[in-house]
Structure 1
Amino acid sequence: MKPPLQKPRFGLAWTSLWAVVIGGLLLGVGVISGTEPTLIVIGSLFLLIGILIWQEVSIGLWAGFLAFGVMAVLHATRMLGDFHWRFLVYCLAFAQLSYESFQGLRQLRDAETSGHAYSRSKTPLNADNDDPEKDEPMISLVLLQRKQKYLEDIILAKLVEAAWGGDYSGASGSEAGDPENEESPSGDGFVVGESPLFIIKSPTGMYLVHNMDADYWEHKAEVVEAIGELRLRKAVADHHAWLSVDLLTPGDERPDMNAAYLTVARLLVALADEDTLAVVRPESMDINVWSDEMADRLLTPGAYEELSQQDNAPVIPIADDDPAMQAAVATARHRWPEFVAAFQRSGGSPTVEDDSKFVVKARITEGGSTEFIWVNVIGLEPKYVHGRLANDPIDLGDLELGSQVEFPIADVCDWCYFDNDEPVGLFSLEAIRLSQQADEATN
């Protein structure tokens, strides 16, 4: 269950507050009159519904949908028998609250089904909303950016040539003429447009490139709240622009998905830069933090289906007072001499290739930010540990994967080494597993 003071997602805050206000008014009237126990019961029911909706509990949304719907029907009936404008207003208001509860229920169900709540308000550009029977996949990939990328048609043409090969320089800018013209003056295709929208004509189809100076989600704060993994949460929170490559597929053609996504991915990787934070697949709304490894993965057939698998080691928040984690840290510190003895038996100075055999999780502080992160140990002193970061930090200044660090032994909270290829240590894994199970049970 979410923290009580945290606003509910899916626009349910006002629905919850109205339920509480209605419940409070009915309860107050019932208590003051002293002769209307029915009002007390109904008022208490609406108060409970409001609280459950605020906590995003499914049964509360179901109850809200039904209770608001019943109230709408009752006022509609009264309006038919004795028309008055206030009955119409009440009927419409309760019908709207019932609809909001139903929509919240659907979005909550979708979020639970997909494992996240990345609700995007945008409609795919190649979606045919006039034909409900048509369910063509959206072939598109999106980069979340810190800031809008500087991009011109000539620059994009060069990137297209580098990613796809061929000649796209024959028709760019004002030389291109009408972008709907199917005939390219020369070369293999052309690029036209300017930020925020470009059109690419190539032998494999027509593509759109969006270069937007805005958040990808209209309600980005709600998306950030829904992300449990801290590294991914920060990437989404820090983005203020986005860049996408979309393939416009004709309605009567179904391209090979692997080939189509691979073509899109090649251009997307060419467009990525130092401001790229994450990659999104709109069709499934899978998100992954951007990295060199992620770029390499995207350039393999079928990789688009694996974007939900985190490329980096996940960073899961756990409360400092979590009993299981406190016990794990205490065990790791109590058994620390075992790690020291094993390290010394290895010779005490492993090579770069072998240093991953001895790792510790430690509290690292840099630039006013503190993270608990795994470190490959390369040296031990009586009171200090020397090593290289085994994970990419979330926000530790200039530190990155492989950066050399040193810290006091008192900051170690877990450790692991291998004895005949069997891991020894990893005391915090069970605490993390229990924490994740608790989160899944409450959500």
Structure 2
Amino acid sequence: MKCPNCSAELNDNARFCPQCGTSIDTQADNNTVMADEDNEFVPTASGDDADILRPADTQRRDGMPDERYTDMNYRGNRAQRRAGKRNKKPDNSKKKPLIIAIIALVLVIAIVLGVIFFVSRKTVSAKELQKAKDNYLPPAQAVTIDTSLSDPSNDAIQFKYDDHARIISCTYSVNKMTYDQRYTYDENMRKINVETTYRAQPIFTKELDYDRVTKPDTFEEVDGYYIRLCKEDLADTGATEPPQETAAPEATEPPTEPPTEPPTEEPTDPPADWKELYIDYITNGGTEFSSGRLFHINDDDIPELFLQYKTPSALSHFEICWISNDTVQHEPVYGGIPKYKERSGFLHTGRYDYEFSNGWQISQFDGTSFSKYRSGFVEGNEYKIDGEDVTKEEYEAALNEYKSWELMYAPDNTLITIDALPDHIRNY
């Protein structure tokens, strides 16, 4: 071993340097203490420069004497440091801003999703809107309710009422599409207006008369709609004032001229009531129907009757009836729902040319029968109108003439159920 002062060679057991007299601490020089896992302090071995401490250890020698920083000193201070770390309370000051930021982010996401849902609820494509119109049925045809209940709402339909217990809105589903209806009441005109919407988009409107309802405070079906009016609504039923008494006519002298001779022609019987003829046909005609409505093909006073079969055949779902010679004439309609131009005498169907699945026909009605007026079809790349070859442009131009015609369901895209159809005919 060497003297740390003069570097003279010393005996391993020497306590003082014989050359310079420096005190030798052999215990401290001979023990080399390994650094702990934190690598904060490494005692020096003998022969090296004394008290070589890392900067962090120099700061931790609080209150230590000038003698060498021993392994025991280091280990004691390390135990104190660890105890201090265990007793130190966690600093949550940095976590609070993070929590606030997370909450704010969640709120922003919720608001964005809400806006997206609201916009999507108000937005509907033209294709989906047309599908909603094609699948629409009025509530009474789509959902059955218990009319004896004060609130017959169920899983399929929901009603809301005003303070007179009248319906102000209902929501129901048809063919997996949900419709909303709003009822408004005009007491002066004694009318009920029903507006139907699909995803906030208007679909149909229907006007109903107060006088179609027969019992107050009771659900009734009118033209496929559920209606309930209160006693006050039905109080004014249109009763007329009693007739005024009039004075008896003054006596007059008998005429001096001889009475005229009676007509020689025999009186003719009055025409049969067309309404009763139609009602008798749908009731006793032998064919079962599910619904129908009156409409005008030609421009006369007696309307035609459009009927839907209860059990349609493979080729026909509908038929058209008309009155001729005091009897009901009828003919099936092929090719789907026909279109017509009111009081024009023309009907757009697929009849007569049904063998062409992509064919069409315009039929003319003269009041007694239907006849073929114009027809066309496409087969491959061949376009024909009335059997003559035409170009694609000529063919499409002909079809465009009939696109504005109304479907037979018009004007409100509904048919009257068979139970309510007799009243519809009588009140027409």
TM over 0.5: no
The structure having more radius of gyration, on CA atoms, is 2
- Greater helix fraction, Structure 1 or Structure 2: 1
TM-score normalised by structure 1 residue count: 0.21
TM-score normalised by structure 2 residue count: 0.22
- Greater strand fraction, Structure 1 or Structure 2: 2
Determine which structure has greater relative contact order: mean sequence separation of CA pairs < 8 Å that are 6+ residues apart, divided by chain length. Answer: 1
